[in-house]
Amino acid sequence: MQYEAQPGTEDLRRIADSLEALAHIPEESASKLLSVARVELFDEKEEIYAEASEGRDFFFVLEGSIEATRQTPLGVQTVARLKAGDLCGEVSLIDGKPRSTGIRSTSAGRLLRFDIMGLGGLMQWDDEVENVILRIFCRSLADKIRQANAVMAEIMSAEGESERSAGGGPGRSREVDGERKKSLLRSHGLVHEDLEALKDLLKGEGYESGEVIFSEGDHSDTLYIVADGELRISRHLPGFGEEALAILGPGEVFGEMAWIDDSPRSADAIAHTGGCTVLGIGREALEGSLDSDRQRHNRFLKLICQVLARKIRQMNEQLVAYRTMAFF
Protein backbone atom coordinates (compact mmCIF):
# COMPACT_ATOMS: atom_id res chain seq x y z
CA MET A 1 0.00 0.00 0.00
CA GLN A 2 1.01 3.61 -0.50
CA TYR A 3 0.66 6.44 1.97
CA GLU A 4 -1.35 9.41 0.87
CA ALA A 5 0.01 12.82 1.80
CA GLN A 6 -1.23 13.30 5.37
CA PRO A 7 -4.44 15.35 5.24
CA GLY A 8 -4.74 18.47 7.32
CA THR A 9 -6.97 18.65 10.39
CA GLU A 10 -10.00 19.89 8.45
CA ASP A 11 -9.61 17.21 5.80
CA LEU A 12 -9.30 14.49 8.44
CA ARG A 13 -12.40 15.80 10.17
CA ARG A 14 -14.32 15.58 6.88
CA ILE A 15 -13.06 12.02 6.50
CA ALA A 16 -14.22 11.19 10.01
CA ASP A 17 -17.63 12.77 9.38
CA SER A 18 -18.04 10.47 6.39
CA LEU A 19 -17.77 7.44 8.69
CA GLU A 20 -20.90 6.71 10.70
CA ALA A 21 -18.87 5.30 13.61
CA LEU A 22 -16.88 8.53 14.00
CA ALA A 23 -19.32 11.18 12.85
CA HIS A 24 -21.01 11.82 16.19
CA ILE A 25 -18.19 11.52 18.70
CA PRO A 26 -17.08 14.62 20.66
CA GLU A 27 -14.80 16.99 18.76
CA GLU A 28 -11.95 16.71 21.27
CA SER A 29 -11.97 12.90 21.20
CA ALA A 30 -12.17 12.91 17.40
CA SER A 31 -9.13 15.20 17.15
CA LYS A 32 -7.10 12.96 19.42
CA LEU A 33 -8.08 9.84 17.49
CA LEU A 34 -7.30 11.39 14.13
CA SER A 35 -3.87 12.44 15.38
CA VAL A 36 -2.80 8.76 15.25
CA ALA A 37 -4.48 8.00 11.91
CA ARG A 38 -3.19 8.12 8.35
CA VAL A 39 -4.73 7.53 4.95
CA GLU A 40 -3.41 4.70 2.78
CA LEU A 41 -4.13 3.84 -0.85
CA PHE A 42 -4.59 0.30 -2.13
CA ASP A 43 -4.86 -1.17 -5.62
CA GLU A 44 -7.23 -3.82 -6.86
CA LYS A 45 -6.34 -7.35 -5.61
CA GLU A 46 -3.79 -6.03 -3.11
CA GLU A 47 -3.14 -7.82 0.19
CA ILE A 48 -3.77 -5.55 3.17
CA TYR A 49 -2.59 -8.13 5.69
CA ALA A 50 -2.17 -11.92 5.69
CA GLU A 51 -4.03 -14.54 7.68
CA ALA A 52 -2.10 -15.53 10.85
CA SER A 53 0.18 -12.49 10.57
CA GLU A 54 1.02 -10.38 13.60
CA GLY A 55 -0.41 -6.89 13.73
CA ARG A 56 -2.50 -4.66 15.97
CA ASP A 57 -3.34 -1.67 13.74
CA PHE A 58 -6.96 -1.40 12.69
CA PHE A 59 -8.54 0.19 9.61
CA PHE A 60 -11.67 1.88 8.35
CA VAL A 61 -12.51 1.40 4.69
CA LEU A 62 -12.90 4.88 3.15
CA GLU A 63 -13.36 3.93 -0.49
CA GLY A 64 -13.42 0.73 -2.49
CA SER A 65 -14.12 -2.79 -1.26
CA ILE A 66 -12.17 -5.53 0.49
CA GLU A 67 -12.82 -9.09 1.59
CA ALA A 68 -11.79 -11.25 4.53
CA THR A 69 -10.45 -14.65 3.49
CA ARG A 70 -9.34 -17.96 4.99
CA GLN A 71 -7.06 -20.66 3.63
CA THR A 72 -8.97 -23.97 3.44
CA PRO A 73 -8.48 -27.43 1.91
CA LEU A 74 -10.61 -26.14 -0.97
CA GLY A 75 -8.41 -23.09 -1.51
CA VAL A 76 -8.96 -19.49 -0.42
CA GLN A 77 -12.51 -18.93 0.83
CA THR A 78 -14.21 -15.58 1.41
CA VAL A 79 -15.80 -15.28 4.86
CA ALA A 80 -16.86 -11.61 4.74
CA ARG A 81 -17.06 -8.63 2.40
CA LEU A 82 -16.41 -5.11 3.63
CA LYS A 83 -17.32 -1.78 2.11
CA ALA A 84 -16.83 1.92 2.81
CA GLY A 85 -17.45 2.64 6.49
CA ASP A 86 -16.62 -0.87 7.69
CA LEU A 87 -13.85 -1.68 10.15
CA CYS A 88 -11.22 -4.43 10.06
CA GLY A 89 -8.26 -5.49 12.18
CA GLU A 90 -9.86 -4.76 15.56
CA VAL A 91 -10.07 -8.42 16.66
CA SER A 92 -6.29 -8.80 16.97
CA LEU A 93 -6.05 -5.50 18.82
CA ILE A 94 -8.63 -6.74 21.33
CA ASP A 95 -7.28 -10.23 22.00
CA GLY A 96 -3.60 -9.88 21.08
CA LYS A 97 -3.67 -12.92 18.78
CA PRO A 98 -2.58 -13.25 15.12
CA ARG A 99 -4.98 -12.14 12.40
CA SER A 100 -7.91 -14.57 12.12
CA THR A 101 -8.37 -13.85 8.41
CA GLY A 102 -6.46 -12.33 5.57
CA ILE A 103 -7.69 -9.04 4.13
CA ARG A 104 -7.36 -8.22 0.44
CA SER A 105 -8.92 -5.65 -1.86
CA THR A 106 -11.41 -6.40 -4.59
CA SER A 107 -11.21 -2.87 -6.01
CA ALA A 108 -8.89 0.10 -5.63
CA GLY A 109 -9.61 2.44 -2.75
CA ARG A 110 -8.43 4.04 0.48
CA LEU A 111 -8.12 3.04 4.14
CA LEU A 112 -7.86 5.06 7.32
CA ARG A 113 -5.23 3.27 9.42
CA PHE A 114 -5.01 3.76 13.19
CA ASP A 115 -1.53 3.12 14.53
CA ILE A 116 -1.50 0.92 17.65
CA MET A 117 1.56 2.61 19.15
CA GLY A 118 -0.11 6.01 19.28
CA LEU A 119 -3.56 4.62 19.94
CA GLY A 120 -2.36 2.51 22.87
CA GLY A 121 -1.06 5.61 24.62
CA LEU A 122 -4.34 7.45 24.09
CA MET A 123 -6.39 4.56 25.45
CA GLN A 124 -4.14 4.22 28.48
CA TRP A 125 -4.28 7.87 29.53
CA ASP A 126 -7.61 9.17 28.22
CA ASP A 127 -10.75 7.44 29.53
CA GLU A 128 -13.04 9.29 27.11
CA VAL A 129 -11.06 8.26 24.03
CA GLU A 130 -10.88 4.70 25.30
CA ASN A 131 -14.65 4.68 25.78
CA VAL A 132 -15.22 5.94 22.22
CA ILE A 133 -12.94 3.28 20.74
CA LEU A 134 -14.46 0.42 22.76
CA ARG A 135 -17.97 1.46 21.77
CA ILE A 136 -16.92 1.50 18.10
CA PHE A 137 -15.39 -1.96 18.46
CA CYS A 138 -18.48 -3.38 20.18
CA ARG A 139 -20.76 -2.14 17.42
CA SER A 140 -18.44 -3.32 14.63
CA LEU A 141 -18.03 -6.81 16.10
CA ALA A 142 -21.77 -7.19 16.72
CA ASP A 143 -22.46 -6.23 13.10
CA LYS A 144 -19.95 -8.80 11.86
CA ILE A 145 -21.48 -11.55 13.98
CA ARG A 146 -24.96 -10.79 12.66
CA GLN A 147 -23.61 -10.80 9.09
CA ALA A 148 -21.86 -14.13 9.70
CA ASN A 149 -25.09 -15.60 11.07
CA ALA A 150 -26.89 -14.51 7.92
CA VAL A 151 -24.21 -16.06 5.70
CA MET A 152 -24.38 -19.35 7.64
CA ALA A 153 -28.14 -19.51 7.18
CA GLU A 154 -27.77 -18.77 3.47
CA ILE A 155 -25.11 -21.46 2.97
CA MET A 156 -27.11 -24.14 4.79
CA SER A 157 -30.59 -23.13 3.61
CA ALA A 158 -32.79 -25.75 2.04
CA GLU A 159 -36.44 -26.20 1.19
CA GLY A 160 -38.77 -27.31 3.94
CA GLU A 161 -39.11 -26.40 7.59
CA SER A 162 -38.07 -28.28 10.71
CA GLU A 163 -39.64 -28.02 14.12
CA ARG A 164 -37.93 -25.39 16.23
CA SER A 165 -37.89 -24.36 19.87
CA ALA A 166 -40.68 -22.20 21.23
CA GLY A 167 -39.93 -18.68 22.36
CA GLY A 168 -38.05 -18.17 25.60
CA GLY A 169 -39.09 -16.59 28.85
CA PRO A 170 -38.06 -16.00 32.45
CA GLY A 171 -36.81 -19.05 34.31
CA ARG A 172 -37.54 -19.98 37.89
CA SER A 173 -36.04 -17.56 40.39
CA ARG A 174 -32.92 -19.10 41.87
CA GLU A 175 -30.71 -17.65 44.58
CA VAL A 176 -27.00 -17.39 43.80
CA ASP A 177 -24.60 -16.56 46.62
CA GLY A 178 -23.01 -13.09 46.44
CA GLU A 179 -19.51 -14.54 46.62
CA ARG A 180 -20.31 -16.84 43.70
CA LYS A 181 -21.47 -13.83 41.68
CA LYS A 182 -18.28 -11.92 42.48
CA SER A 183 -16.14 -14.92 41.57
CA LEU A 184 -17.79 -15.17 38.16
CA LEU A 185 -17.34 -11.46 37.49
CA ARG A 186 -13.76 -11.44 38.80
CA SER A 187 -12.82 -14.11 36.24
CA HIS A 188 -13.42 -11.47 33.54
CA GLY A 189 -10.97 -8.98 35.01
CA LEU A 190 -13.44 -6.76 36.82
CA VAL A 191 -12.16 -5.18 40.04
CA HIS A 192 -13.58 -5.02 43.55
CA GLU A 193 -15.58 -1.84 42.98
CA ASP A 194 -17.19 -3.35 39.87
CA LEU A 195 -18.11 -6.54 41.72
CA GLU A 196 -19.82 -4.70 44.53
CA ALA A 197 -21.74 -2.48 42.10
CA LEU A 198 -22.98 -5.32 39.90
CA LYS A 199 -23.47 -8.36 42.11
CA ASP A 200 -26.80 -7.25 43.62
CA LEU A 201 -28.18 -6.35 40.19
CA LEU A 202 -27.63 -9.85 38.77
CA LYS A 203 -30.74 -12.00 39.21
CA GLY A 204 -30.53 -15.80 39.20
CA GLU A 205 -32.82 -17.87 36.98
CA GLY A 206 -32.95 -21.66 36.67
CA TYR A 207 -33.78 -23.67 33.53
CA GLU A 208 -34.24 -27.41 33.05
CA SER A 209 -32.63 -29.29 30.17
CA GLY A 210 -34.18 -28.23 26.86
CA GLU A 211 -35.90 -25.12 28.20
CA VAL A 212 -35.46 -21.99 26.10
CA ILE A 213 -33.91 -18.89 27.67
CA PHE A 214 -34.50 -16.84 24.54
CA SER A 215 -35.14 -17.52 20.86
CA GLU A 216 -33.79 -16.00 17.68
CA GLY A 217 -35.92 -12.97 16.85
CA ASP A 218 -36.97 -12.26 20.45
CA HIS A 219 -36.78 -8.67 21.67
CA SER A 220 -34.96 -8.44 24.99
CA ASP A 221 -32.11 -6.35 26.39
CA THR A 222 -31.01 -8.72 29.17
CA LEU A 223 -27.37 -9.77 29.32
CA TYR A 224 -26.50 -13.07 31.02
CA ILE A 225 -23.65 -14.90 32.72
CA VAL A 226 -23.76 -18.69 33.18
CA ALA A 227 -23.61 -19.44 36.93
CA ASP A 228 -23.86 -23.25 36.86
CA GLY A 229 -24.48 -25.99 34.33
CA GLU A 230 -24.36 -25.55 30.56
CA LEU A 231 -26.44 -24.05 27.79
CA ARG A 232 -26.11 -24.08 24.05
CA ILE A 233 -26.28 -21.22 21.60
CA SER A 234 -27.85 -22.43 18.37
CA ARG A 235 -29.62 -21.39 15.21
CA HIS A 236 -32.52 -22.92 13.36
CA LEU A 237 -31.58 -23.77 9.78
CA PRO A 238 -34.56 -24.43 7.47
CA GLY A 239 -34.53 -28.03 6.34
CA PHE A 240 -31.86 -28.99 8.91
CA GLY A 241 -33.28 -28.04 12.29
CA GLU A 242 -31.16 -26.91 15.23
CA GLU A 243 -27.45 -26.27 14.64
CA ALA A 244 -25.44 -25.74 17.81
CA LEU A 245 -22.97 -22.86 17.53
CA ALA A 246 -21.42 -23.11 21.00
CA ILE A 247 -21.78 -24.82 24.38
CA LEU A 248 -21.31 -22.34 27.23
CA GLY A 249 -20.34 -23.16 30.81
CA PRO A 250 -19.91 -21.30 34.11
CA GLY A 251 -18.56 -17.77 33.79
CA GLU A 252 -19.33 -17.34 30.11
CA VAL A 253 -21.29 -14.32 28.92
CA PHE A 254 -24.13 -14.42 26.39
CA GLY A 255 -26.98 -12.21 25.22
CA GLU A 256 -24.64 -9.22 24.84
CA MET A 257 -25.57 -8.57 21.20
CA ALA A 258 -29.02 -7.18 21.98
CA TRP A 259 -27.53 -5.01 24.73
CA ILE A 260 -25.11 -3.47 22.23
CA ASP A 261 -27.42 -2.67 19.32
CA ASP A 262 -30.96 -3.17 20.64
CA SER A 263 -31.69 -5.59 17.78
CA PRO A 264 -33.63 -8.88 18.00
CA ARG A 265 -31.80 -11.93 19.32
CA SER A 266 -29.56 -13.45 16.65
CA ALA A 267 -29.67 -17.04 17.97
CA ASP A 268 -31.41 -19.36 20.44
CA ALA A 269 -30.13 -19.97 23.99
CA ILE A 270 -31.28 -23.37 25.33
CA ALA A 271 -30.46 -25.10 28.61
CA HIS A 272 -28.19 -28.06 27.85
CA THR A 273 -28.07 -31.51 29.44
CA GLY A 274 -28.60 -31.22 33.18
CA GLY A 275 -30.03 -27.70 32.98
CA CYS A 276 -28.38 -24.48 34.05
CA THR A 277 -28.53 -21.42 36.27
CA VAL A 278 -27.94 -18.02 34.69
CA LEU A 279 -27.50 -14.53 36.08
CA GLY A 280 -29.35 -11.83 34.14
CA ILE A 281 -29.19 -8.05 34.18
CA GLY A 282 -31.32 -5.70 32.06
CA ARG A 283 -30.07 -2.73 30.05
CA GLU A 284 -31.48 -0.04 32.36
CA ALA A 285 -29.98 -1.50 35.53
CA LEU A 286 -26.64 -2.23 33.86
CA GLU A 287 -26.22 1.16 32.25
CA GLY A 288 -27.30 2.89 35.45
CA SER A 289 -24.39 1.21 37.22
CA LEU A 290 -21.87 1.77 34.44
CA ASP A 291 -22.69 5.40 33.63
CA SER A 292 -21.74 6.53 37.12
CA ASP A 293 -18.10 5.51 36.63
CA ARG A 294 -16.27 5.91 33.27
CA GLN A 295 -13.45 3.53 34.17
CA ARG A 296 -15.92 0.85 35.27
CA HIS A 297 -17.80 1.37 32.00
CA ASN A 298 -14.57 0.88 30.04
CA ARG A 299 -13.63 -2.27 31.91
CA PHE A 300 -17.05 -3.70 31.13
CA LEU A 301 -16.81 -2.72 27.46
CA LYS A 302 -13.42 -4.48 27.28
CA LEU A 303 -15.06 -7.61 28.67
CA ILE A 304 -17.78 -7.45 26.00
CA CYS A 305 -15.22 -6.80 23.24
CA GLN A 306 -13.29 -9.89 24.32
CA VAL A 307 -16.46 -12.00 24.29
CA LEU A 308 -17.30 -10.77 20.79
CA ALA A 309 -13.75 -11.28 19.51
CA ARG A 310 -13.86 -14.93 20.62
CA LYS A 311 -17.19 -15.35 18.83
CA ILE A 312 -15.81 -13.84 15.62
CA ARG A 313 -12.91 -16.30 15.62
CA GLN A 314 -15.27 -19.23 16.27
CA MET A 315 -17.63 -18.10 13.54
CA ASN A 316 -14.82 -17.75 11.02
CA GLU A 317 -14.00 -21.41 11.68
CA GLN A 318 -17.66 -22.37 11.33
CA LEU A 319 -18.07 -20.44 8.09
CA VAL A 320 -15.15 -22.34 6.57
CA ALA A 321 -16.63 -25.65 7.77
CA TYR A 322 -20.07 -24.74 6.39
CA ARG A 323 -18.65 -23.77 3.01
CA THR A 324 -16.72 -27.05 2.87
CA MET A 325 -19.86 -29.04 3.75
CA ALA A 326 -21.85 -27.17 1.11
CA PHE A 327 -19.21 -27.99 -1.52
CA PHE A 328 -19.60 -31.69 -0.94
Q: Per residue in 232-270, pLDDT tens?
A: 998 877 666 777 888 999 999 999 988 888 888 988 999
Mean pLDDT of 164-168: 60
Nearest CA to 269 out of 242, 294, 291 is that of 242
Checking if the pLDDT of 134 tops 80, the result is yes
For residue 129, CA distances in Å to 25, 65, 192 come to 9, 28, 24
Looking at the structure, do residues 312 and 188 belong to the same domain, yes or no? yes
> How would DSSP label each residue in 243-308?
EEEEEE-TT-EE-HHHHHH-PPPSSEEEEEEEEEEEEEE-HHHHHHHHTT-HHHHHHHHHHHHHHH
Mean pLDDT of 65-82: 90
pLDDT (0 to 100) of residue 58: 94
Looking at the structure, do residues 177 and 277 belong to the same domain, yes or no? yes
With respect to residue 153, please indicate whether it lies within any of the assigned structural domains: no
Question: What average pLDDT does the structure give for the chain?
Answer: 87
With respect to residue 95, please indicate whether it lies within any of the assigned structural domains: yes
Looking at the structure, do residues 194 and 311 belong to the same domain, yes or no? yes
Phi and psi torsions of 270, nearest 5°: -130, 130
Higher pLDDT residue, 156 or 46? 46
pLDDT (0 to 100) of residue 9: 62
pTM of the prediction?
Answer: 0.88
Question: Which structural domain, as residue segments, surrounds residue 307?
Answer: 172-327
Work out whether strand 102-105 and strand 66-72 pair parallel, antiparallel, or are unpaired: antiparallel
With cut-offs at 50, 70 and 90, classify the pLDDT of residue 315. Answer: confident
Looking at the structure, do residues 189 and 321 belong to the same domain, yes or no? yes
Q: How many domains does the structure of the chain reveal?
A: 2
CA distance 251 to 225: 6
Query: The domain spanning residue 15 has which CATH number?
Result: 2.60.120.10
Q: Where does a domain end: 86, 108, 125?
A: 125
Checking if the pLDDT of 163 tops 60, the result is no
With cut-offs at 50, 70 and 90, classify the pLDDT of residue 160. Answer: very low
Mean pLDDT of 199-224: 93
CA distance 118 to 175: 46
Environment class of residue 80 by beta-carbon count within 10 Å: exposed (0-12), middle (13-18) or buried (19+)? buried
Checking if the pLDDT of 22 tops 90, the result is no
pLDDT (0 to 100) of residue 238: 66
With cut-offs at 50, 70 and 90, classify the pLDDT of residue 159. Answer: very low
Nearest CA to 304 out of 324, 328, 325, 281 is that of 281
Looking at the structure, do residues 100 and 195 belong to the same domain, yes or no? no
Looking at the structure, do residues 98 and 179 belong to the same domain, yes or no? no
Looking at the structure, do residues 85 and 178 belong to the same domain, yes or no? no
Checking if the pLDDT of 55 tops 50, the result is yes
With cut-offs at 50, 70 and 90, classify the pLDDT of residue 167. Answer: low
With respect to residue 321, please indicate whether it lies within any of the assigned structural domains: yes
The DSSP secondary-structure symbol of 210 reads: T
pLDDT (0 to 100) of residue 291: 85
